[in-house]
């Protein structure tokens, strides 16, 4: 547990900071499997945004990063680097990436570590670009230290609104009961006539937590919404996508001293692409602007919170890794035996042959299962007053988030996906027979169908333990 500071009253104190982590060179952008995407230019900058909270008894920290993925190795490095100097228990530091697909990753997340078929000159195939790692790490740590050194008394306000025009379920059920992901524009003038219905819901909640100084200046905000940040993707352009646009809009409203952290929810099956609007054009600025308008409406009606309790708890659960079907494994091994080195696609520039990528990814599931049959999954709950923040690694389907919000002993409960380490998708069981990108056996879809239910159950238990109910 964090040490109590003898110089602090039991009032809530907050410190916030943001530091630019935009890559300075042609760093590879993650998010497109098997595609080499060195950054060509910067549409908008990437930031590490940090909020440290202390109430005289406990201290917690939120870190929101405009990155695609963070691995367990780098999360642990960040936590260790600030633990002693900042008086932060490692488990009290939530490290979250918004998962913008127009940014680098911090660490490698593609293929199992024992998969040896990627040559050194193609290390980007593993998802990360090592030239970026230390650059980002140093700035993230500095942002935490700056936030920790800037603690001051604040008042807390929290509430939610709804914005249902910017995020859409991306799994379309067709006549054969299989799934297809609609694109960002209509391919047929008659529209996507192949769609019978969308498989699942969205979560339109817009969560807003404000930290204001005694002079009512907006020091920091925690903002929650749920959608894949893929408006700019797949172009090789650096962008924080809609989370960055939302943050920027809040700073324009409340001044450059305000640090708005976006916590993106469980968007494993949620995209910003409206499948039924023929005039839809991907526009992260529009999305950020609409979320900002909802946020402003929420703020106008927020009461001040008297409860300034802070707490945290982490539980690790074992999630089973799926078995690779024998025929699929044999076919993948044969492809890699015939092509031991990655080969470029003959049809698509800067793209590795999709058959080779698929084979390597399938074999990686098998190799990971051989090393250990289960994946060690971190569930993290941070408490701020009556509000719960739940950190879930990977890309859970939104149904899991909604189940967790309904089962939580407190309101509001906000979930942040892609925290601490990457594990791939956590779909609902009904999705598996229908197929699709999120469930077909790949390294990003390596868990058994019951994994999401296990996570929701364990997270619900932790919530009850933290909130004493």
Give per-10-residue mean pLDDT for the chain (469 aa): 48 98 95 95 98 97 98 98 97 98 97 92 96 98 98 98 98 97 92 96 98 97 98 96 98 97 98 96 98 98 93 98 98 97 93 96 98 97 98 98 98 98 97 97 97 98 94
**pLDDT value of residue 469:** 72
**pLDDT value of residue 187:** 87
Q: Are 68 and 101 in contact (CB under 8 A)?
A: yes
Extract the tokens encoding 441: 């056996």
**pLDDT value of residue 10:** 81
pTM confidence score: 0.97
Diameter over CA atoms, the chain: 69
d(CA 213, CA 291): 24
What are the CA-CA distances from residue 304 to residues 77, 165, 254 (Å)? 36, 29, 18
- Dihedral of the CA atoms 244, 247, 249, 250 (nearest 10)? 180
Spatial CB neighbours of 84, under 8 Å, sequence gap ≥ 6: none
β-sheet bridge partners, residue 344: 352
What are the CA-CA distances from residue 139 to residues 47, 48, 136, 143, 326 (Å)? 9, 8, 5, 6, 45
- Dihedral of the CA atoms 262, 266, 267, 272 (nearest 10)? -40
What are the CA-CA distances from residue 227 to residues 61, 204, 206, 260, 304 (Å)? 23, 9, 11, 17, 29
d(CA 216, CA 211): 9
């Amino acid at each position: 547990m964090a040490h109590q500071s003898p110089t602090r009253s039991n009032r809530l104190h907050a410190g916030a900071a943001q530091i630019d982590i935009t890559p300075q060179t042609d760093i590879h952008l993650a998010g497109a499997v098997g595609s080499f995407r060195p950054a060509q230019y910067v549409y908008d900058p990437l930031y590490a945004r940090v909020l440290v909270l202390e109430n005289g008894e406990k201290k917690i920290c939120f870190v929101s990063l405009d990155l695609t993925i963070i691995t367990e190795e780098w999360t642990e490095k960040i936590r260790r680097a600030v633990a002693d100097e900042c008086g932060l228990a490692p488990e009290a530091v939530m490290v979250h990436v918004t998962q913008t697909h127009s940014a680098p990753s911090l660490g490698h997340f593609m293929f199992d570590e024992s998969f040896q078929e990627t040559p050194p000159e193609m290390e980007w195939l593993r998802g990360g670009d090592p030239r970026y790692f230390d650059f980002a790490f140093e700035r993230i740590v500095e942002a935490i230290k700056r936030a920790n050194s800037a603690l001051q008394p604040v008042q807390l306000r929290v509430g939610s609104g709804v914005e249902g025009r910017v995020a859409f379920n991306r799994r379309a059920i067709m006549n054969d009961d299989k799934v297809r992901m609609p694109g960002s524009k209509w391919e047929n003038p008659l529209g996507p006539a192949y769609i019978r219905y969308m498989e699942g819901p969205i979560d339109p909640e817009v969560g807003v937590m404000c930290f204001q100084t005694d002079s009512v200046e907006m020091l920091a905000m925690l903002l929650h919404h749920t959608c894949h940040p893929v408006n700019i993707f797949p172009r090789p352009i650096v962008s924080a996508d809609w989370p960055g646009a939302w943050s920027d809009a809040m700073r324009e409203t409340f001044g450059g001293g305000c640090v708005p952290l976006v916590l993106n929810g469980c968007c494993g099956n949620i995209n910003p692409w409206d499948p039924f609007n023929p005039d839809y054009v991907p526009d992260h600025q529009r999305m950020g602007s609409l979320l900002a308008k909802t946020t402003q409406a929420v703020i106008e009606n927020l009461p001040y919170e008297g409860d300034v309790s802070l707490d945290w708890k982490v539980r690790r659960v074992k999630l089973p890794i799926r078995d690779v079907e024998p025929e699929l494994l044999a076919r993948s091994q044969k492809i890699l035996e015939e092509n031991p080195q990655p080969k470029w696609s003959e049809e698509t520039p800067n793209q590795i042959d999709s058959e080779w990528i698929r084979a390597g990814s399938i074999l990686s599931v098998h190799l990971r299962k051989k090393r250990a049959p289960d994946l060690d999954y971190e569930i993290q709950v941070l408490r701020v007053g009556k509000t719960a923040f739940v950190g879930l690694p990977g890309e859970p389907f939104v149904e899991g988030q909604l189940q967790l919000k309904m089962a939580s002993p407190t309101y509001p409960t906000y979930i942040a996906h892609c925290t601490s380490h990457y594990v791939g998708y956590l779909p609902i069981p009904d999705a598996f027979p229908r197929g699709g990108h999120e469930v077909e056996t790949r390294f990003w879809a390596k868990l058994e169908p019951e994994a999401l239910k296990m996570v929701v159950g364990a997270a619900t238990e932790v919530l009850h333990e933290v909130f004493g109910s």
